[in-house]
Amino acid sequence: MYAITGATGNTGSVIAAKLLARGEKVRVIGRDASRLEGFVHKGAEAFVADVTDAAALTKAFTGTKAVYAMIPPNIAAPDASGYQERVNDALATAITNAGVGHAVVLSSIGVDKPDKTGPVVALHNLEQRLNSVAGLNALYIRASYFMQNTLAQIAVIQNFGILGGPLRADLPLAMIAARDIGEWAAEELLRLSFSGKQARELLGHRDLDYREVASIIGKAIGKPNLTYSQFPPMLIKPALLQSGMSSSMADLILEMSEALNSGYMAPLEPRSAQNTTPTSFETFVAEEFVPRFARSR
Ligand SMILES: NC(=O)c1ccc[n+]([C@@H]2O[C@H](COP(=O)([O-])OP(=O)(O)OC[C@H]3O[C@@H](n4cnc5c(N)ncnc54)[C@H](OP(=O)(O)O)[C@@H]3O)[C@@H](O)[C@H]2O)c1
């Protein structure tokens, strides 16, 4: 039995689907049984739990061969860091008390830094917490910038006719499709060949900056002259609040953006065949961005 947190999400859903397709037993974890039903029809066991509930997670992880652990985003949390640390407490407690042998853990580039990386500080702390769990074999997936982050641009395009955000227009970003993380994590869960505490960077298909992002999206949605503008934090924060983010989460996002812009937060490895994944940004745009953009009109 495998236990998958965030099973209805971008990465967890790919993992759960792949393990089920290989005939594995899977316990899918989420907050709402109805959203887990699709997996139940394919043979999964649904487990309704909040990731801040250590006792529930302990039950969910008990008797499993391996676990996929992640901190689900909660952009509306009034104390965003506090929420993330409550998840860390619950995950570490449950992994310890359930005696989990192997865990694949969603982490991020930038976790080599203990502070000033916004929401990534909590992933640094999660790795540190799990490093002290004796007997746990943990594989930390240090993923780069998700292509899914660009979906937030749909509202910007609708409102302003351009792309805009806090990142520098010419900042090369190693952009990864979340599905590639899921595919990679599923393979590792099936192989279970990792031991001790290991980290692997995944850097997506290639590096591209937001000028190129605008150009690729523009061509795909029939606006070939689409451009990107970097906006100052004082303009970005109200927009983030309006999108439903708490003030503390918006501050974390702006701190991370500054860390990326300055190069403080960056991959540690050069790009290689090992850390490059197959889905290109063009494919992501065609398959995920364009349909979402069309539905939003
Ligand atoms: N964005 C980036 O650039 C980036 C880069 C590196 C790492 N990361 C990491 O990736 C994570 C996001 O991964 P993802 O995209 O796979 O996640 P996701 O799709 O946003 O969310 C995963 C699932 O978690 C569940 N969930 C939410 N709150 C929960 C709670 N309190 N208790 C239990 N389940 C809950 C939700 O399912 P239900 O609604 O069904 O409960 C959701 O579908 C981030 O949090 C970050 O740690 C992100």
Q: How far apart are CA 143 and CA 137, in angstroms?
A: 19
Give alpha helix (H) positions in 172-209: 178-191
Helix or strand or coil: residue 278? coil
Model's pTM, two decimal places?
0.98
Report how far apart, in Å, the C-alpha atoms of 60 and of each of 57, 89, 181, 182 are: 5, 15, 23, 20
240: phi then psi, degrees, rounded to nearest 5 = -65, -40
To test the pocket of ligand 1, the residue of 36, 108, 123 to mutate (highest count of ligand atoms within 8 Å of its CB) is 108
Using DSSP bridges, classify how beta strands 206-208 and 173-176 pair: parallel, antiparallel or unpaired: antiparallel
Pair of tokens at residue 287: 């398959």
How do residues 109-163 score in pLDDT, each as one tens digit?
999 999 999 999 999 999 999 999 999 999 999 999 999 999 999 999 999 999 9
Share of the chain above pLDDT 90, in %: 100
Q: Atom 21 (ligand 1): residue with closest C-alpha?
A: 9
CA atoms in the 13 A half-sphere facing the CB of 205: 14
Q: What's the CA-to-centroid distance between 146 and ligand 1, angstroms?
A: 12
Of ligand 1's listed atoms, the one at least distance from the Cα of 182 is 16
Q: What's the CA-to-centroid distance between 85 and ligand 1, angstroms?
A: 15
23: left (phi over 0), alpha (psi -120 to 50) or beta: left
How do residues 27-61 score in pLDDT, each as one tens digit?
999 999 999 999 999 999 999 999 999 999 999 99
Ligand 1 site, CB within 6 A: 6, 8-12, 30-32, 35, 50-52, 70-74, 106, 108, 123, 143, 145-146, 149, 178
Average model confidence (pLDDT) across the chain: 98
Q: What's the CA-to-centroid distance between 224 and ligand 1, angstroms?
A: 32
Task: Tell me which residue of 267, 289, 269, 270 sits closest to 279, measured CA to CA.
Answer: 289
Q: What's the CA-to-centroid distance between 225 and ligand 1, angstroms?
A: 33
Q: How far apart are CA 283 and CA 297, in angstroms?
A: 21
Greatest Cα pair distance in the chain: 56
Q: Atom 10 (ligand 1): residue with closest C-alpha?
A: 106
- What does the buried/exposed string (b/e) look like for 5-14 if buried means 16 or more CB atoms within 10 Å of the residue's CB? bbbbbbbbbb
Q: What is the pLDDT of residue 297?
A: 81
Q: Atom 24 (ligand 1): residue with closest C-alpha?
A: 6
Is residue 218 pLDDT above 90, yes or no? yes
Q: Atom 23 (ligand 1): residue with closest C-alpha?
A: 6
Section 64-83 average pLDDT? 98
Measured on CA atoms in the order 74, 78, 83, 85, is the torsion positive or negative? positive
